[in-house]
Structure 1
Amino acid sequence: MNKTATHIIGARLLHALALAAFVAFALFPLFWLLKVSLTPDDLMYGEGVRLWPSRVTLDHYGSVLRHSQFPLFFRNSLIVSAATGLLATAAASAAGYAFSRFRFRGKAWVMGVMLVSQMFPLVIIVAPIFRLLSPLGLTNSLSGLVVVYTAFNTPFAAFLMQSFFEAIPKDLEEAAMMDGATRFQALRRVILPLTLPGLAATGGFVFTAAWSELLFSLMLNSSAAVSTFPAGLLGFVSKFSVDFGQMMAAGVLALLPVGAFFLLIQRYLVQGLTAGAVKG
């Protein structure tokens, strides 16, 4: 075996080891989440730090599903995230198409304002948002969260969709319009089907952002009836103790819809992320 072949094999082995180490590092928190959720209370501190408990139990999952408000929080998060994903993706698609296809006065300013809106720490605008929504009756409501999440996720989603639309040649819709289609018909019948991967990637980003958001859910809602699961997880923390078993079990259950959603759109998501990175 010559030196070149040895060098190639060594480089590939090193690359595989580095990739395996990265995957293990990324997945270890999820493994520990699952491990703690299956550990009985009497072994939580009695066995010390172990990779896997000597005995497992599903009691924490049963307690979360039967004796806590987690099912309500789960439902609220699902409603808010799905509604936010649909609204923000639709608004971002319209904005991204306009930015990629039209030239209009003030376009640079509009894009600049949208970009600047993503630079502010959310904690400094919680109070103004609360003062704005309170007279409208949108605090302590799922509708208020949908409005806020849609407003804050649409700008970045619009930039994502703009890159996807710019990757589609204008000749396609121009050919459709020459055949008698209106611009809207060309968009609906020609362009949007080609941007399904982009729509999936954008929808996945917005859904995940809304699903995991804590600050606004905690500050705008004081009623458990409209709390989402990130805020609901705080219910497992009491003044003097933390029920780690039930908290981790709730965390595992909360991962299921996100995992299922990304499995459904995996093919479109990979295509969208790669297509959006290449202009042409």
Structure 2
Amino acid sequence: MSRKTKNAIGGTIRVLVLIFFFLLVVLPIYWIVITSFKTSGEILDINNLTFFPKDFTWKNYTDLFEQFNYGVLLKNSLLVSVTSALVVTVFSMLGGYSLARYKFNGKQAVILFFLITQMIPGILVIIPLYIIFSKMGLINTHIGLFIYYVTVNLPFCVITMRSFFERIPVTLEEAAKVDGCTKMQSLFKIVFPIMFPGIVSVFVFGFIGAWNELIAGSIFISTPEMWTIPVGLKTLIGKYNVEWGLLMAGGVMALLPTAVMFAAMQKFIVEGMTAGAVKE
């Protein structure tokens, strides 16, 4: 078999593998979207599956907002996710800079501790935190969720931000100091603009970590008016029946903010996650 034939076969196999994984990712999303536009009868008719709605309807979306109060869920999720992501980003920048630029006793222990926390399942800290939050009056409050999301997402983001800072030569800050810049001026005028892709990546990571979280939201929040989107959608899955139309419509609406965010910031996210690969 010639080299040209081998290369052609290898290329064909790679294309087929890529197509397989592409369909593996896209088909579930496509099915969610088309199901959200189907009637209840068409959704439940498993003997006649359709890959496009026979009777296109917006009823699932209108019911989602009018009967299920989805607007409140959206507001709660945005409030908790955006605020926790912002705080995580700011603290990660401060912590990452300290770990990258300064030498102090216990530095390696701190880094090791942050890395070890990533090996601990988040569910293990739910019960201790529930006891602490209940004594502090933070159960059934967005502040409790905010604290949990910041605590869970911060260690990884600090380590990631440290890697971003280490890629920026110290000589840039030294040159800015020679030109008369203070430490804060060199950070805001020189370092942070260069690190913009990394900052965006950390913010997106913190946002997604809070936006998609279900377990803590289910345990810490009990009042429907305080639910986030994942918690609210979970209630559509009953013991004997599932509101498939509303569930799929809610899934599409929950997917839109993250899809728009990734589409708008794709360049920065890819660049930032590549540049900030953890090296330990």
TM-score after normalising by structure 2: 0.93
Conserved in 2, the CA contact under 8 Å of 1:198 and 1:273?
Answer: yes
Q: Are 1:106 and 2:106 an aligned pair? A: yes
SS at match of 1:262: helix
The answer to which of 193-202 and 120-129 deviates more is 120-129
SS at match of 2:71: helix
Q: Are 1:23 and 2:37 an aligned pair? A: no
What RMSD in Å do the two structures reach over aligned CA positions? 1.8
- Counterpart for residue 219 of structure 2: 219
In structure 2, C-alpha distance between the alignment counterparts of 1:134 and 1:47, rounded to whole Å: 46
In structure 2, C-alpha distance between the alignment counterparts of 1:47 and 1:107, rounded to whole Å: 59
In structure 2, C-alpha distance between the alignment counterparts of 1:268 and 1:186, rounded to whole Å: 22
- Counterpart for residue 90 of structure 1: 90
Cα distance, 1:118 vs. partner?
2.3
In structure 1, C-alpha distance between the alignment counterparts of 2:108 and 2:10, rounded to whole Å: 46
Conserved in 1, the CA contact under 8 Å of 2:88 and 2:206?
Answer: yes
Cα distance, 1:93 vs. partner?
1.0
In structure 1, C-alpha distance between the alignment counterparts of 2:278 and 2:15, rounded to whole Å: 26
The answer to which of 217-226 and 234-243 deviates more is 234-243
Q: Deviations over 1:172-211 (max 9, x none)?
A: 1111112222222211111110010001111111111100
Q: Deviations over 1:214-260 (max 9, x none)?
A: 11111011111111010001221233211111111001011111111
- Counterpart for residue 260 of structure 2: 260
In structure 2, C-alpha distance between the alignment counterparts of 1:5 and 1:278, rounded to whole Å: 39
SS at match of 2:222: coil
- Listed as ranges, the gaps of 5+ residues in structure 2 are none
Cα distance, 1:6 vs. partner?
3.9
**One-letter code of the match for 1:84?**
S
Cα distance, 1:159 vs. partner?
1.0
Conserved in 2, the CA contact under 8 Å of 1:214 and 1:230?
Answer: yes
Q: Are 1:61 and 2:61 an aligned pair? A: yes
The answer to which of 171-180 and 245-254 deviates more is 171-180
In structure 2, C-alpha distance between the alignment counterparts of 1:270 and 1:125, rounded to whole Å: 31
- Counterpart for residue 11 of structure 1: 10
**One-letter code of the match for 2:94?**
A
Q: Deviations over 1:1-39 (max 9, x none)?
A: x94444434433332222122111111211111122122
Conserved in 2, the CA contact under 8 Å of 1:167 and 1:278?
Answer: no
Cα distance, 1:65 vs. partner?
1.4
Cα distance, 1:47 vs. partner?
4.9
Cα distance, 1:51 vs. partner?
2.9
SS at match of 1:241: coil
**One-letter code of the match for 2:25?**
A
- Counterpart for residue 229 of structure 2: 229
Conserved in 2, the CA contact under 8 Å of 1:84 and 1:206?
Answer: yes
In structure 2, C-alpha distance between the alignment counterparts of 1:17 and 1:148, rounded to whole Å: 42
In structure 2, C-alpha distance between the alignment counterparts of 1:131 and 1:237, rounded to whole Å: 28
TM-score after normalising by structure 1: 0.93
Equivalences for residues 151-166 of structure 1 within 5 A: 151-166=151-166
- Listed as ranges, the gaps of 5+ residues in structure 1 are none
Change (3 A) 1:274 1:187: same
- Counterpart for residue 39 of structure 1: 38
Cα distance, 1:41 vs. partner?
0.8
Cα distance, 1:278 vs. partner?
9.1
